Amino acid sequence: MITVPMDKAFIIYLMIWLITISILWVRKLWRDNAHDWNPNKSRLFRCDKCHYAFIHKESISISRCPRCNSICVFRKRRRF
Ligand SMILES: [Zn+2]
């Protein structure tokens, strides 16, 4: 049987925790970048046919409604 002194076992225990936390941190950073949402580039569309509101990530002016598949046109609001 392998005998490990207590001080080395504690260091191994800490290293395993540090590696686990590092892996989880890198995974969180990767997921945040993969699901990044920039509200400046996205646009809110509202379907005229079914009144369904949805957000498109890219700044396009024409999209299809995910509910009824009709064409939706992005309209800029007037500022007073
Ligand atoms: Zn619709």
Instruction: List per-residue pLDDT tens for the chain, 80 residues long.
Output: 778 889 999 999 999 999 999 999 999 999 888 777 666 777 888 899 999 999 887 778 899 999 999 999 887 766 66
Distance CA(52)–CA(65), nearest Å, equals 8
Number of other CB atoms surrounding residue 54 within 10 Å: 15
Q: How many residues does the chain have?
A: 80
Please report the pLDDT score of residue 56 as a whole number.
Answer: 83
Please report the pLDDT score of residue 18 as a whole number.
Answer: 97
Domain-wise residue ranges, the chain: 1-36, 43-73
Please report the pLDDT score of residue 17 as a whole number.
Answer: 97
Q: How many A from CA of 62 to the centre of ligand 1?
A: 13
Half-sphere exposure of 63 (CA within 13 A, CB side): 21
Q: How many A from CA of 66 to the centre of ligand 1?
A: 7
Please report the pLDDT score of residue 38 as a whole number.
Answer: 66
Please report the pLDDT score of residue 13 as a whole number.
Answer: 96
> 54, 72, 74: which is closest to 64 by C-alpha?
72
> 44, 48, 41, 39: which is closest to 72 by C-alpha?
48
pTM above 0.75, yes or no: no
